């Protein structure tokens, strides 16, 4: 069976085990990719580091990168405990996740599609890879984009973005379905704000590469 890729944000990581459980009970091989946005921002503020985003992606200095790695490692460990003994925590830079550096954002990269052997081995053993989104370098990569790159590389059955919002909101209502071309127009128009930008971009990228994508209750279709 092709795997299901589930991306959970840092704000819902504590609930992720319950959200993922139905897919596990159905027998789906599952890869979990998580963020740690709230945890990273809180720790950066505690250390007096500036918190800045450009089009929903975090500007990452060398000092901030250390916070990023510490925070995602902590979320990864907690998520693995919550999921249970079949969960295998994997740090992206240790398993060969690759990314192209984005100079204007600092220590940040655009992840490239891949199927890391450590992920394939875990799936083959009936385990649940829980992947922390950091690429070789190390480079900070957006968790939505990392999940999309893995889904494409693994030729996943589909990718689900679990988040604290119900889906893509337009005029105050959840959009149940959006075509890839329409999603691209929305992104190009620059009217979307915050974390939905990289999330929609990641879903759009996956859909155009043949992986059905859902953001909450919103399906993004090619």
Domains and CATH numbers, the chain: 4-163 (3.40.1160.10)
The answer, yes or no, to whether residue 219 has pLDDT greater than 90, is yes
User: Which residues, at least 6 apart from 156, have a Cβ–Cβ distance to it below 8 Å?
Assistant: 2, 3, 4, 5, 31, 150, 211
Of the residues 37, 78, 167, 195, which is catalytic?
A: 37
Q: Give the number of other CB atoms < 10 A from CB of residue 81.
A: 12
pLDDT higher at 42 or 1:
42
The answer, yes or no, to whether residue 11 has pLDDT greater than 80, is no
User: How much helix, strand and coil, in percent to the nearest 5, is found in the chain?
Assistant: 45, 25, 30
Segment (H or E) for 148? helix 143-154
Of the residues 9, 10, 167, 195, which is catalytic?
A: 10
**What tokens does 163 get?**
């988040």
CA distance 162 to 165: 8
Of the residues 56, 92, 144, 153, which is catalytic?
A: 144
Q: Which residues pair with 221 in a beta bridge?
A: 179
Q: Which residues pair with 32 in a beta bridge?
A: 6, 130
* Per-residue pLDDT, 19: 76
Give the torsion sign (CA, 5, 37, 50, 199).
positive
Q: Are 217 and 166 in contact (CB under 8 A)?
A: yes
Our separate counts of H helices and E strands in the chain read 7, 16
Q: Give the number of other CB atoms < 10 A from CB of residue 70.
A: 14
CA distance 82 to 60: 29
Catalytic residue check, 7: yes
Of the residues 7, 9, 78, 216, which is catalytic?
A: 7
Residues 95-152: pLDDT tens digits? 999 999 999 999 999 999 999 999 999 999 999 999 999 999 999 999 999 999 999 9
CA distance 191 to 137: 33
User: Which residues, at least 6 apart from 26, have a Cβ–Cβ distance to it below 8 Å?
Assistant: none
Residues 24-77: pLDDT tens digits? 777 789 999 998 989 999 999 999 999 999 888 899 999 999 999 999 999 999
* Per-residue pLDDT, 56: 80
Catalytic residue check, 37: yes
């Amino acid at each position: 069976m092709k795997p299901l890729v589930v991306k959970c944000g840092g704000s819902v990581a504590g609930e992720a085990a319950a959200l993922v459980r139905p897919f596990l009970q159905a027998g789906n091989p599952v890869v979990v990719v998580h963020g740690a946005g709230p945890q990273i921002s809180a720790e950066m503020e505690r250390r007096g580091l500036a918190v800045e985003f450009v089009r929903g992606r975090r500007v990452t200095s060398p000092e901030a990168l250390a916070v990023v790695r510490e925070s995602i490692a902590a979320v990864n460990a907690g998520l693995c405990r919550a999921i249970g003994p079949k969960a295998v925590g994997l740090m992206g830079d240790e398993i060969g996740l690759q990314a192209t550096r984005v100079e204007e954002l600092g220590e940040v990269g655009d992840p490239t599609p891949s199927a890391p052997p450590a992920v394939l081995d875990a799936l083959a053993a009936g385990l649940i890879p829980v992947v922390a989104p950091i690429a070789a370098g190390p480079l900070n990569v957006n968790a939505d984009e990392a999940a999309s790159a893995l889904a494409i590389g693994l030729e996943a059955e589909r990718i689900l973005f679990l988040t604290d919002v119900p889906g893509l909101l337009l005029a105050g209502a959840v959009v149940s379905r959006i075509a890839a071309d329409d999603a691209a127009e929305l992104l190009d128009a620059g009217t979307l704000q915050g974390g939905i930008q990289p999330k929609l971009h990641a879903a759009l990228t996956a859909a155009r590469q043949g992986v059905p994508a859902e953001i909450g209750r919103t399906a993004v279709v090619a």
